[in-house]
Amino acid sequence: MTSKLATLANQTPTVKMLLDGKFIESQTSEWQDVVNPATQEVLAQVPFATDDEINAAVASASKAYKTWKNTPLATRARIMLKLQALVREHMSSIAHTLSAEQGKTLADAEGDVFRGLEVVEHACSIGTLQLGEFAENVAGGVDTYTLRQPIGVCGGISPFNFPAMIPLWMFPMAIVCGNTFVLKPSEQDPLTPMLLAELALQAGVPPGVLNIIHGGKRAVDAICTHPDIVAVSFVGSTAVGTHVYNLASQHGKRVQCMMGAKNHAVVMPDANKEQSLNALVGSTFGAAGQRCMATSVTVLVGDAQKWIPDIVAKAKTLKVNAGVEKGADLGPVVSKNAKNRVLGLVEDGIKEGAKLELDGRGIKVPGYEKGNFIGPTIFSGVTPEMKIYTTEIFGPVMVIVGVNTLNEAITLINNNPFGNGTGIFTQSGAAARKFQSEIDVGQVGINVPIPVPVPSFSFTGSRGSKLGDLGPYGKQAVQFYTQTKTITSRWFDDSSTSTGVNTTISLK
C-alpha cells in the first residue's frame, strides 16, 4: 500500500471509481499497485474505497432504481445493442489493456472479451427473456398471469482471471432486467472493467444504474451486508465464495457463487489422438492454467496411458512469452504470489512421489526476465491422495491419473468434491452416453475440452464449485435478477349476478 501523497508525487495513474455516472478520484489513504505480470511495471494504482464511498455507490444505485425499474424493455434492449456494438468496436484496445494487467496472450484476451460480449448480445433479447405467462379462464371468468419484475440494487464481485468476461456476465444481465448494479472488480486488474464502464455510459446507461468501487475484503463484506443491496453475484475462489455466500445469505440476500474446480478430462483409447492431444494441451495450459474451467486432470483409460510421451511432446511445442508478443501460447501468471504458490505445489507433487514428466520451473523469457512465468508442467503417476490432485493449482500444471476402465474414471470424478466441468474424448457413442448419464458434474463436454455453454443456456457448475441454485447468465440469470409476481383477476360488468358469499378457498 502507498499513500495518496506518494501517488500524486510520482504521477502514477490512478484508477477512478464510477459513482452516479461520473468517474471520480477516491479520497482513500489505501492504494495498491496494478502490476504488469510480464514486466513488473506499475501500470496504475487502485484505491481501496472508503466506507463513505461504498455507501455513496449504493445510494446512487438506490436512487437510480426508482426510475430505471420503470424504463421500457425496448429502451433497455437498445442500450444493450449499443453496448455490444461499442465493445465489438473497441475489442482490440480492451484486449491490449487486459493483456498488460492480467498477462493473457492477445488472442486469449480477445477471447475473454468475446465470451462476455456474447452475454451482452443475449441481453438484447430481454423483450422475450422477461416474458411472463398467462392462462385464461382458470375458473369462471378468472385469469391468472405472471410478471417478472426487477428486484432492486444488485452487487457483483468479479475475479482477476477474467476481467472482461465476468463483469460482462454480471452487470448487463442485471441492469437489462431493470435493476441497478454495484460492481467490485478484482483489485489486481481493474483497468479492463473501467474501460467497459466507459462504454456502458456511452451506450446510454443512465447515472447510478452502474456504479464501480474498488477494494479488498472490506469492500466485499460491505456488498454482502449492505441493507440496500438485495442480491450478490460472485465468481472466484472457493474460500472467498463460501464466505460471500454465508455472509450475504445471513443478511437476507439472493446469492449465486461460482467457485473453484478440479476439472477432469477422460481419454478413452479409441479417441481421435491428434484432436484429443490438441484439446488437452490447449485447455490445460491456455491462460497459464488460470481458468476455473481449465482441464487440470487428465484421466487416461487403459491403453491411452501410452500417450504420455505424446502429451509431453505436444506441450513442449507451446511458446511461453509476454502476452503482447506474437506467437505466444501462454503468458505469465498474474502475480509473484501466484507464481510462488504454483511452484510450491509443484514441489509438493515431487515430494509425494508423482513423476515430473515436464518441468516448467525456472523458465526465462528474453526481455522479460522479471516476469511471473512458469512453463507447461506435467505430472504422471498421480493418485487422489496427493495435494496436486486435491488442490486447484490454478497454474500451467497438468496432473495425469491412469485407470483401467471407464467405470473407474467415473468413480474417480464423482468422488472429487468439485463439479464445475468435465469431458470425455472418445469415438464411442455408447461410452459418451454412459459418461454423460452417470457423471455428477454440472457441465459435460464430449470431445469438447472446455464445456462452457453459450449464453442462451447457462453456466451450470455444481457441487463444491457452486453455491446457489441459479447460474450467472442465460435464462437462469433472468430468474436470479427478477421476482415473479402472480396475478389472479376477475372482472364483473353491471349485469353480473352475485353467487353469494364463498367461504372456501376455491374459485368458482
Catalytic residues: 292
Closest CA to 205 of 238, 163, 171: 171
CA-to-CA dists, residue 447 to 254, 270, 396, 429, 438, angstroms: 35, 12, 21, 11, 17
CA distance 199 to 352: 50
Compute the residue count for the chain: 508
Query: In the chain, what's the furthest Cα-to-Cα distance?
Result: 91
Which residues, 6 or more positions from 316, have their beta carbon under 8 angstroms from its beta carbon? 358, 376
Cβ neighbours of 493 (radius 10 Å): 5
CA-to-CA dists, residue 489 to 49, 135, 476, 495, 496, angstroms: 49, 11, 28, 18, 15
Closest CA to 52 of 19, 14, 7: 19
Q: Phi first, then psi: give them for residue 239, nearest 5 degrees.
A: -60, -50
Give 56's DSSP letter: H
Closest CA to 363 of 83, 18, 38: 38
Give 330's DSSP letter: B
